[in-house]
């Protein structure tokens, strides 16, 4: 009888563990799809906003996103993230800050900027593709806003780490999280280096995108501010977790 009860308990806890693994796999699958679509979309985004410059579309920073992709794939096959909510106020602040970045982008791009005369989310948007070629394409404004404004590295990283920073996941117990954090460090470190290269030495690593502005003009661009601060928070948070981790989970 005792052995039968132990067997039932083992099955029960096995079901609970499998349910937890399912949530991990769903989380990893959703972000794997998002990151993969971002990587496929970014060469087109570059052609729209900068021009046909392969060195930018497939530059070294994007190695970071490939590593993030590998980490998410690893999580689907070997779930190890702890998705329970972390109550540490520092990580709560970091996660909430990243969510606020996303909300600010939505408010500015979809509510504040539409004051422009003739703007309609249900209208059409014409643009050069690639930039500088005089080849004009026309897309629905809704598709343009979704892909060109919201589906960017800033929103994807802010959403991913806005969630992960609020959990008890730590790279000391999760190989997939370690890969995701390493990828984030590579990507954000490259971008931060590019920001400071232009602001301090006036060297443009973006193939001319920053050179359209003076240093003070760039600092006054709202998109630069939310890019800069979200990348800085993610970089600091990722380095902290890789070297120090989070406090042990109480059992």
Mean pLDDT of the chain: 82
Position 42 in a domain: yes
**Mean pLDDT lowest among 7-16, 110-119, 204-213:** 7-16
State yes or no: pLDDT of 43 exceeds 50. Answer: yes
Q: What are phi and psi of 85, to 5 degrees?
A: -70, 130
**Would you place residue 159 in the very low, low, confident or very high pLDDT band (cuts 50, 70, 90)?**
very high
pTM (predicted TM-score):
0.83
Distance between CA atoms of 204 and 227, rounded to whole angstroms? 16
Position 248 in a domain: no
92 upstream amide cis, omega within 30 of 0: no
How high is the pLDDT of residue 51? 66
Helix (H, G, I), strand (E, B) or coil at 220: coil
**Mean pLDDT lowest among 61-75, 146-160, 224-238:** 146-160
Q: Which letter does DSSP use for residue 166 in this model?
A: T
Query: Tens of pLDDT along 78-137?
Result: 999 999 999 999 999 999 999 999 998 888 877 776 566 667 777 787 777 766 677 787
State yes or no: pLDDT of 35 exceeds 80. Answer: yes
Closest Cα partner for 108 from 150, 45, 162, 143?
150
State yes or no: pLDDT of 16 exceeds 60. Answer: no
Number of structural domains in the chain: 1
**Mean pLDDT lowest among 113-117, 187-191, 195-199:** 113-117
Position 250 in a domain: no
**Would you place residue 249 in the very low, low, confident or very high pLDDT band (cuts 50, 70, 90)?**
very low
Position 24 in a domain: yes
- Rg (C-alpha) for the chain, rounded Å, is 21
Residues near 106 by beta carbon (within 8 Å), at least 6 away in sequence: 150
How high is the pLDDT of residue 55? 53
How high is the pLDDT of residue 197? 85
Residues near 164 by beta carbon (within 8 Å), at least 6 away in sequence: 81, 177, 180
**Would you place residue 15 in the very low, low, confident or very high pLDDT band (cuts 50, 70, 90)?**
very low
Mean pLDDT score, 32-36:
94
Position 133 in a domain: yes
Position 251 in a domain: no
Q: Which residue has the higher pLDDT, 207 or 22?
A: 22
Mean pLDDT score, 188-193:
90
Distance between CA atoms of 71 and 32, rounded to whole angstroms? 9
- Full 3-state SS string of 49-80: HCCCCHHHHCCCCHHHHHHHHHHHHHHHHCCC
Full residue range of the structural domain in which residue 35 is found: 2-243
**Would you place residue 8 in the very low, low, confident or very high pLDDT band (cuts 50, 70, 90)?**
very low
State yes or no: pLDDT of 13 exceeds 60. Answer: no
State yes or no: pLDDT of 50 exceeds 80. Answer: no
């Amino acid at each position: 009888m005792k052995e039968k009860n132990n067997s039932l308990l083992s099955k029960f806890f096995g079901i609970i563990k499998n349910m937890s693994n399912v949530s991990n796999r769903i989380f990893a699958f959703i972000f794997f799809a998002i990151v993969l679509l971002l990587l496929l979309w970014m060469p087109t985004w570059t052609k729209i906003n900068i021009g046909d410059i392969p060195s930018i579309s497939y530059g070294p920073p994007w190695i970071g996103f490939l590593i993030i992709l590998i980490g998410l794939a690893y999580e689907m096959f070997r779930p190890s993230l702890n998705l329970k909510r972390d109550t540490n106020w520092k990580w709560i602040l970091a996660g909430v800050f990243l969510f606020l970045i996303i909300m600010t982008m939505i408010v500015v791009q979809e509510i504040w900027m539409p004051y422009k005369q003739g703007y309609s989310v249900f209208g059409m948007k014409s643009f050069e593709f690639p930039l500088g070629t005089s080849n004009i394409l026309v897309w629905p404004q809704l598709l343009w806003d979704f892909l060109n404004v919201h589906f960017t590295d800033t929103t994807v990283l802010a959403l991913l780490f806005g969630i992960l920073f609020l959990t008890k996941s730590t790279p000391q117990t999760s190989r997939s999280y370690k890969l995701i954090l390493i990828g984030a460090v590579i990507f954000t470190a490259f971008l931060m280096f590019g920001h400071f290269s232009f602001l301090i030495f006036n060297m443009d690593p973006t193939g001319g995108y920053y050179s359209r502005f003076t240093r003070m003009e760039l600092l006054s661009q709202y998109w630069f501010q939310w890019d800069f601060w979200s990348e800085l928070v993610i970089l600091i948070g990722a380095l902290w977790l890789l070297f120090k981790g989070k406090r042990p989970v109480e059992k």
